[in-house]
Amino acid sequence: MLMALRFSSFLLLTSLLVACGSIPSIPASTDFPVPDPPNYSQARYWAASPFADDPADRTPGTNLEDQQLTATADVFYLHPTIYFKTRKDNEFWNADLNDRKLNTSVDEAAMLNHASIFNAAGRVFAPRYRQAHIKVFYPEGRTVSRQALDTAYTDVLAAFDHYLATWNQGRPIIIASHSQGTTHAKRLIADRFDGKSLRSQLVAAYLVGMPVSADAYQTIPVCESATQTGCFVSWRTYRDDFKPKPAYQDTVPNIAVVNPLSWTTSEQRAPLSLNKGGVLYNYEKGPLPELVWAERRGAGLFTNKPKFFGDILFNTKNYHVGDYNLFWLNIRENAVQRVTAFSR
């Protein structure tokens, strides 16, 4: 029963942790303590790499295979926030990369559910980084959010530059991210790809779970088809009856939304028949076909409530936790499509 409810339980746990009142103390303006920085020449600071056995090498069910050994492209993946620590003696607004329990959570949640999507399209590289605490996205953490997010991005940039200098060797690159990872991936695209020579190696960027302006970049447009390259896709998923707040579409102008079933920005509903399979609570069971339909409405992607064992507990209208999982197989096949198109 516990295994069967993993997907909804993860969402419930996340909600409970966000609601907890105990957070790191607000430091003085001149003092912002941070854990020791990572050294990306050491394997332990990579949650996924093609040179180690890790959850990003897994595939759900029995019909899919990890193809990193023969892949011609690389994937640089940035995981979402999994730093919810609420100990009263916790002084850090950024994760300590020596925290084994937290590292295990990153591996079992993000590497297994997200990073593994891309192991058919390329070699998967995913750095551990000093992610900012979940509360930086809430009022009680706003005074330290910039410092915490900048610390995290310092690691992301260092990891990417190490990857580029050590392993890339001119190979095509996919950037993939979710939630806080997308906050950093947006900056990475601007700093290393947009208007730079490296843009010629960009297959596509999957900037999922955070609002991204369609006009965010001068030389990297929103993808308008399943095989377009040198572009980015983005979406945030909600249940059909979700009612956005008035300011929902105003915080980021002209928000990009690409439907992960049709791979267009059309507002026409993509039917259940286009959903090749989502991966929810039981990874071993494999993708569940025709799980949800998807429809772009303004700044969001809307869908029906998925049916699965234990769905009675899945009552949220914000499907942020399922941005990738609901469309798992479609994203996997699309990444392969774009790499193939890029090679031509």
Q: What digits encode the pLDDT tens for the residues 26-63? A: 665 557 899 999 999 999 999 999 999 999 999 999 99
Evaluate if residue 12 carries a pLDDT over 80: no
Q: To the nearest whole number, what is the mean pLDDT of the chain?
A: 90
Domain annotation covers residue 112? yes
Question: pLDDT-derived band of residue 311, with 50, 70 and 90 as boundaries?
Answer: confident
Domain annotation covers residue 210? yes
Domain annotation covers residue 196? yes
Domain annotation covers residue 212? yes
Evaluate if residue 18 carries a pLDDT over 60: no
Vertex 266: Cα angle to 260 and 268 (nearest 5): 90
Identify the pLDDT of residue 308.
Answer: 84
Sheet containing 295-297: which strands, arranged edge to edge?
A: 237-239, 300-303, 295-297
Structure tokens at 135: 């509360």
3-state secondary structure string, 109-124? HHHHHCHHHHHHCCEE
294 CB neighbour count, 10 Å cutoff: 23
Evaluate if residue 316 carries a pLDDT over 50: yes
Q: pLDDT tens-digit profile of 152-192?
A: 999 999 999 999 999 999 999 999 999 999 999 999 999 99
CA distance 189 to 64: 30
Query: Pairing mode, if any, of strands 295-297 and 202-208?
Result: unpaired
Evaluate if residue 13 carries a pLDDT over 60: no
Whose structure tokens read 């049916």? 307
* pTM, entire model: 0.92
Identify the pLDDT of residue 310.
Answer: 80
Q: pLDDT tens-digit profile of 208-267?
A: 999 999 999 999 999 999 999 999 999 999 999 998 776 555 566 799 999 999 999 999
Distances (CA, A) of 264 to 1, 98, 147, 170, 187: 38, 42, 36, 29, 24
Task: Count the helices and strands in the chain (H runs, E runs).
Answer: 6, 9
Domain annotation covers residue 187? yes
CA distance 229 to 26: 43
Q: pLDDT tens-digit profile of 182-220?
A: 999 999 999 999 999 999 999 999 999 999 999 999 999
Domain annotation covers residue 1? no
**Burial class of 241 by CB neighbour count within 10 A (0 to 12, 13 to 18, 19+):** exposed
Evaluate if residue 333 carries a pLDDT over 50: yes
Spatial neighbors of 149 by CB under 8 A, at least 6 apart, are: 132, 136, 180, 183, 184
Identify the pLDDT of residue 248.
Answer: 52
Identify the pLDDT of residue 99.
Answer: 94
Whose structure tokens read 């439907």? 259
Domain annotation covers residue 43? yes
Which is nearest to 106 in space by CA: 86, 69, 65, 77?
Answer: 77
Domain annotation covers residue 77? yes
Amino acid at 211: P
Q: Across-strand partners of 25?
A: none
* DSSP-derived 3-state class of residue 318: strand
Distance of CA 126 to the CA centre of its chain: 11
Backbone angles phi, psi at 244, to 5 degrees: -65, 150
Mean pLDDT of the region 290-319? 92
Identify the pLDDT of residue 253.
Answer: 74
Vertex 202: Cα angle to 199 and 204 (nearest 5): 130
Task: Say which range, 78-92, 116-130, 232-246, 277-291, has the weakest mean pLDDT.
Answer: 78-92
Report the domain count for the chain. Answer: 1
Domain that holds residue 73: 6-343
